[in-house]
Chains A and B, each alone.
Chain A
Amino acid sequence: MHELSIVMSIIRIAETESAKNNAIKVEEIELDIGALSGIEMTAFDFAWQQAVRATLLEHSKRKINHIPGEGQCMDCAALFPMQQLYEPCPVCGEHFVSVQKGKELRVKSLVVN
């Protein structure tokens, strides 16, 4: 359940950024979560419910951009969608793949007042 520490980090970022802007309430939080980021969404939702209680994210609307995985083959340069880290290049079958997208785990924006 590292998802709980992830949610705690998100709360800390929201608190810091809100304080900088003298905001007391977060209406909306926008997150980027990549498919290869290592976050299991069921565990994340559960951790979220537990952790945001009595914080400034308690009643915030949560917008999550799920970013699909994308790999690039280091041998033939093909770009391809990636569901798992162990997928080979569909063009040449090689495993030297660099992950281009899907590792994101980011607080993108906050709407505060």
Chain B
Amino acid sequence: MCATCGCDANASSSIRQFGENHPHPHDHDHSHDHTHSKTIIEVEKDVLYENNLLAQRNRGYFEAKNILALNLVSSPGSGKTSLLERTLTDLKDQFTCYVIEGDQQTSRDADRIHATGTRVAQINTGKGCHLDAHMILHAVQGMKPAENSILFIENVGNLVCPAMFDLGEKERVVIISVTEGDDKPIKYPDMFHTSTLCIINKIDLLPYVPFSMDKVKEHARQVNPTLSFLEVSCTSGEGLPAWYQWLKEKIQVPEQV
């Protein structure tokens, strides 16, 4: 039993305890008064309420410790890990950073982060195609991030499923690379609808692919008129200073007295 969230290690198997048999094993030949009456329960509960509750708990924790938690989402291969590798290396001396890596199977991304000297927790989701607030809660418990730090959460590469699951992050950052085509925002609107910043990566490849910067922004603004954009290349480093500036503005380190 987990004291913080009340979860039970055997929670998934408990599903199987219900409903298999009629649980009172007497037979019904004898007649006793025993009504199996119907009850209507007005539940009116959001299906995601449990996730949302835990996300709010995470958010409270991050706010109390002034931790800037960022949820990085994209399709597989857009450059989430590459962006983190660059960022962690370049900002090493300025901020304390932590990373949570969501990966279905391997520890490849976590190894890449580890190589930068950053503290990293790895969550293997198996068949699961997204991280949820409960996973983050336990990863953070083990990690105990320091105050005034940045926590990067690399979600599972998937432009659909992670959109529905609030992790308690301060900002959701969607990454799209120029090789994916400029129509992605309207093909996967939920992800762009719920993000605050869109990083357009791999701009070093612009000369080689049919990709219109204006079109992608126009499509994204149709879904989310308040979305901001940054254009970067993790390979050449172009545009990264603007990303670092964005992070600095968000972190708000309290003034030393």
Contacts and interface: CB of A to CB of B under 8 A. Distances in A.
A84 B189 contact: yes
Contact of B19 (A2, A10, A58, A106): A58
Interface in A13-72: 13, 15, 17-18, 21, 23-27, 31, 38, 54-58
Interface in A58-106: 58, 84-86, 88, 95-96, 105-106
B222 A105 contact: no
B39 A21 contact: yes
A50 B18 CA distance: 16
B160 A25 contact: no
A109 B129 CA distance: 29
Contact of A2 (B15, B129, B223): B129
A31 B43 CA distance: 10
Contacts of B18: 15, 18, 24, 55-56
A86 B47 contact: no
| Chain B binding surface, main DSSP class | mixed
B42 to A, nearest CB: 5
Contacts of B165: 2
Nearest to A7: B47
Given A24-B23, A86-B189, A2 B130 contact: yes
B77 interface: no
B44 A106 contact: yes
Interface residues of B, number: 44
Interface residues of A, number: 40
Given A95-B222, A105-B46, A111 B19 contact: no
Contacts of A26: 19
Contacts of B40: 109-111
Nearest to A87: B222
A109 B50 contact: no
> Which of B41, B45, B47, B160 neighbours the largest number of chain A CB atoms within 10 Å of its CB?
B47
A15 B50 CA distance: 14
B230 interface: no
Contacts of A54: 15-16, 19-20
A36 B186 CA distance: 13
A109 to B, nearest CB: 5
Contacts of B20: 54
B108 to A, nearest CB: 22
Given A38-B164, A109-B41, A56 B50 contact: no
Contacts of A2: 129-130, 160-162, 164-165
Given A105-B47, A105-B48, A110 B41 contact: yes
B132 A5 contact: yes
Contacts of A10: 47
Contact of A9 (B38, B47, B161, B190): B47
6 contacts: A1-B161, A18-B41, A107-B47, A109-B40, A109-B42, A113-B39
4 smallest CB-CB distances across A and B, nearest first, come from: A56-B19, A2-B161, A85-B189, A86-B222
Interface of A: 1-2, 5-6, 9-13, 15, 17-18, 21, 23-27, 31, 38, 54-58, 84-86, 88, 95-96, 105-113
Given A55-B18, A112-B38, 7 more contacts: A15-B15, A15-B18, A18-B41, A84-B189, A85-B223, A106-B44, A111-B41
Interface of B: 15-16, 18-20, 22-23, 36-51, 127-130, 132, 160-165, 185-186, 189-190, 193, 219, 221-223, 225
